[in-house]
């Protein structure tokens, strides 16, 4: 029985040990379990429900832009992978190889897809012949495998879930337009649905995707001041097309190479939700992504009429995702459990509340209690959910801005990286050697060159040569 069980165990304070806090939350909120396979995790119902909600909302947004879903094989022949030199070199250390099948050695080994550029290229060369066949705006929802040395749940695992869009266009301009369009779509989704503000910008050549002409990124700041690359969009130009022979006949009856893009987000977005919004009681889920938006906890539920009233409220809140917790656990246990799992609104209803035609609503983020008339419960809960969503975004934005530092000299830069966790804005000359030196000296990396450029000084923060761009720097997951 519940009364014989210990209440929800405490989790490590995030200020004491943020890494352990994160591990405690993902386990005790029952988002995932460790599997017997190193670096691979089991998605439990709450963790997978979050991914389903992410998938549902993104898929809707993709399709509004003309994207169609497809599915390609998970195996890639070695000869196919080797067709694009930069691409294969970039992924070689992380590739898992299949060398036997059905007890017999394969004539050609195959990798388990780390990403699907080569497969899409092989597909496109067979189905694109004319300008009338363009554009191709395809996406697939799948898993990929990358043989990581160090893994963390949701943030970095050997197998993870994601979506990967792969498009083909007639012109460079169309490809660039799609690349930026998808980056903006990701940023809008993260802000509007996940309540996480993003920095949008271009990766340096050192940090761009292997084989890409340009990589664009959205970067978020976690509670501990580390950056998390939350989504990327790549413009491949015609490099892959030339390697794979993807050509089309133009309106002028000339043979031209297509221009391609690729873009994706992964289950690390769940890690971002945890680390941006969570607290020392567990998850805090933004209402628009929460699998359960409202939980109703009956008080003295064995008394006549209490459970009936709880279900009556549930029915009245039919526009939302609502659960009545009528288990035999104590109310205190239920409160702690649903707080751990991040349910945005808890409604308490007991005999005295029923007498007064009211219930008590408790926000997960602030724990603020509001007494609500049962006559207005649907409208008032709708307002609370919207207010909570907006407040969570504003708190995340304030945290990011308060943990963003400007550095003009290298001493200021090193001090900021060492003593002020967060983003550091500084000028850069464009030389990869400065990027390497900064990483060697501070372990910080360039996160992106933001679209909204600022001129902080005329010279590079590292070498003092003329600056070419303002860059966000930071330590990252």
Domain with CATH 3.30.930.10 in the chain: 18-277
Q: Give residue 219's region: left, alpha or beta (phi > 0; psi -120 to 50).
A: beta
Q: Where in the chain is the domain with CATH 3.40.50.800?
A: 294-387
pLDDT for the residue numbered 81: 87
Q: What is the pLDDT of residue 10?
A: 77
Residue numbers of the chain with a pLDDT score lower than 70: 1-9, 85, 87-88
CATH assignment, 294-387: 3.40.50.800
Q: How confident is the model at residue 88, as a pLDDT? A: 66
pLDDT on residue 369? 98
- The CATH fold assigned to 404-474 is Translation Initiation Factor IF3 (3.30.110)
Nearest to residue 428, comparing CAs of 204, 217, 267?
204
Rounded Cα distance between 109 and 348, Å, is 60
Residue-level pLDDT at 140: 98
Within the chain, which residue ranges are assigned CATH 3.30.110.30?
404-474
Quickly name the fold that domain 18-277 has. Answer: BirA Bifunctional Protein; domain 2 (3.30.930)
pLDDT reported for residue 67 = 98
What is the reported pTM? 0.95
Provide the pLDDT for residue 87: 67
387-405 pLDDT, tens per residue?
A: 999 999 999 999 999 999 9
Q: What's the pLDDT at 3? A: 39
């Amino acid at each position: 029985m519940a009364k014989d069980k210990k209440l929800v165990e405490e989790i490590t304070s995030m200020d004491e040990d943020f890494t352990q806090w994160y591990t405690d939350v993902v386990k005790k909120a029952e988002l995932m379990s460790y599997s017997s396979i190193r670096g691979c995790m089991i998605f439990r119902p709450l963790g997978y429900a979050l991914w389903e909600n992410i998938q549902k909302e993104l898929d809707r947004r993709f399709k509004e832009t003309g994207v169609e879903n497809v599915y390609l094989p998970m195996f890639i022949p070695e000869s196919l992978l080797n067709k694009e030199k930069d691409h294969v070199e970039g992924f070689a250390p992380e590739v898992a190889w299949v060398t036997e099948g059905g007890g017999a050695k394969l004539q050609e080994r195959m990798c388990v897809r780390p990403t699907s550029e080569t497969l899409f290229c092989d597909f496109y060369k067979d189905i694109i012949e004319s300008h009338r066949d363009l554009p191709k705006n395809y996406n697939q929802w799948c898993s990929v495998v990358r043989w990581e040395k160090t893994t963390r749940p949701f943030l970095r695992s050997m197998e993870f879930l994601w979506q990967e869009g792969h498009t083909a266009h007639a012109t460079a301009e169309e490809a660039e337009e799609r690349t930026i369009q998808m980056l903006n779509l990701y940023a809008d989704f993260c802000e509007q649905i996940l309540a996480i503000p993003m920095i949008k910008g271009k990766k340096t050549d050192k940090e761009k995707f292997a084989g890409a002409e340009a990589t664009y990124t959205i970067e978020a700041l976690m509670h501990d001041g580390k950056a998390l690359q939350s989504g990327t969009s790549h413009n491949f130009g015609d490099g892959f097309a030339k390697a794979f022979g993807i050509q089309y006949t133009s309106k002028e009856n000339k043979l031209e190479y297509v221009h391609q893009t690729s873009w994706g987000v992964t289950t690390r977005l769940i890690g971002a939700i945890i680390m941006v919004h969570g607290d020392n009681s567990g998850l805090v889920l933004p209402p628009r992504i929460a699998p359960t938006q409202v939980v109703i906890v009956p008080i003295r539920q064995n008394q006549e009429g209490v459970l009936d009233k709880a279900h009556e409220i549930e029915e009245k809140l039919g526009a939302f995702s609502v659960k009545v917790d009528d288990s035999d656990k104590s109310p205190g246990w239920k409160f702690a459990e649903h707080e751990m799992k991040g349910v945005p609104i808890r409604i308490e209803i007991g005999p005295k509340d029923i007498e007064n035609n009211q219930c008590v609503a408790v926000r997960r983020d602030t724990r603020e209690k509001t007494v609500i008339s049962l006559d207005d419960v649907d409208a008032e809960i709708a307002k609370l959910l919207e207010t909570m969503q907006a407040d969570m975004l504003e708190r995340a934005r304030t945290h990011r801005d308060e943990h963003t530092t400007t550095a003009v000299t290298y001493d200021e830069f090193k001090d900021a990286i060492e003593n002020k966790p967060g983003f550091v804005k500084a000028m850069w000359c464009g030389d990869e050697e400065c990027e390497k030196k900064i990483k060697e000296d501070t372990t910080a990396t360039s996160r992106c060159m933001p679209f909204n450029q600022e001129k902080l000084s005329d010279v590079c923060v590292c070498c003092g040569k003329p600056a070419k761009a303002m860059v966000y720097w930071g330590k990252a997951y």
